Structure 1
């Protein structure tokens, strides 16, 4: 219970430091959170592949959302900002801990994703220099549909990597 509370608090701290700090020294807070999480709550052996996979998938998804005009950043670039990219492995740290309750049944993960995903993007758009060119409600609907699929997929990945045997080389 205490680890789940610490996990939730660390995630929120990381979310705010990324969204409010942008691409600044505040990103070091996220690095510290990864260190604390992997040292005291999870471990690199059990969650490392999940963190890297979710990071990569999230960068692809958010890049596609930018290219499709769902959201826009003041700073133009070919890749998503680092602060946005770091939110993905931060989210991954919660899948086996404070958000593990939302994994089963699949429809619960889908419902949590459909609500929580857009809520995070909308909150971030109000706090960071992110625009929603489609408007608020069309963005909520698009993001809700996407996250209704993405969040159960992330939980499936977390389960997959938890069940995968740890090889001697990575231990």
Structure 2
């Protein structure tokens, strides 16, 4: 296994744990982790491109905040959650790159299970609150992540393939 995959795996796990346990207090450290990632990443440009996934994820979470499925103490998505989305997005090119080989139905299943599990764990750690029933909370995140994960992985896959093609064309010139 490539060393950076391990580093990125640890990077994302630490990012999630900090976000879920310390929320606003974790913001500066999350920013530092993200900057460190870009300093040592072997694919800075691809990682920068995949941040578009973070924008989409933030919009989805902002909608869920507006709908009060998650309550973060304000009507705007907090910085720690934006940075966590950025950390997730760049992990798609590294420790989560294995998902690029999976067919969409598998990604839908993984998203429908892991997305709600992650948010429910964060809810249990009191990273945020909810005003909806647990079943509604879980179903909402299952649907959201059944769509988000395949879309995110496909975006990462296409971005990666496009960069490889551009690099091959540039080296032939």
- TM-score, normalised by the number of residues in structure 1: 0.85
Partner of 1:150: 148
Aligned length: 164
- Give the secondary-structure state (helix, strand or coil) at the position aligned to 1:8: helix
Partner of 1:107: 105
> Which runs of at least 4 in structure 1 moved beyond 6 Å after TM superposition?
none
Q: Greater CA deviation, 111-120 or 157-166?
A: 157-166
- Give the secondary-structure state (helix, strand or coil) at the position aligned to 2:24: coil
Residues 91-141 of structure 1 deviation map (CA, whole Å, 9 limit, x = unaligned): 112212211222311112111111111111111112234222222122111
- TM-score, normalised by the number of residues in structure 2: 0.85
- Alignment RMSD: 2.0
- The Cα shift of 1:56 comes to 1.4
Cα distance in 1 for partners of 2:46, 2:63 equals 29
Q: Any residues of structure 2 matched to 1:42-61 within 5 Å, and which?
A: 42-51=42-51, 53-61=52-60
Larger Rg: 1 or 2?
2
- C-alpha contact 2:19 2:127 (8 A) present in aligned 1: no
- Give the secondary-structure state (helix, strand or coil) at the position aligned to 1:131: coil
- C-alpha contact 1:19 1:83 (8 A) present in aligned 2: no
Partner of 1:11: 12
- The Cα shift of 1:155 comes to 0.6
The unaligned stretches of length 5 or more in structure 1 are none
Partner of 2:120: 122
Cα distance in 2 for partners of 1:10, 1:49 equals 19
- The Cα shift of 1:87 comes to 1.2
The unaligned stretches of length 5 or more in structure 2 are none
Higher helix share: 2
- C-alpha contact 1:117 1:147 (8 A) present in aligned 2: yes
Cα distance in 2 for partners of 1:145, 1:69 equals 16
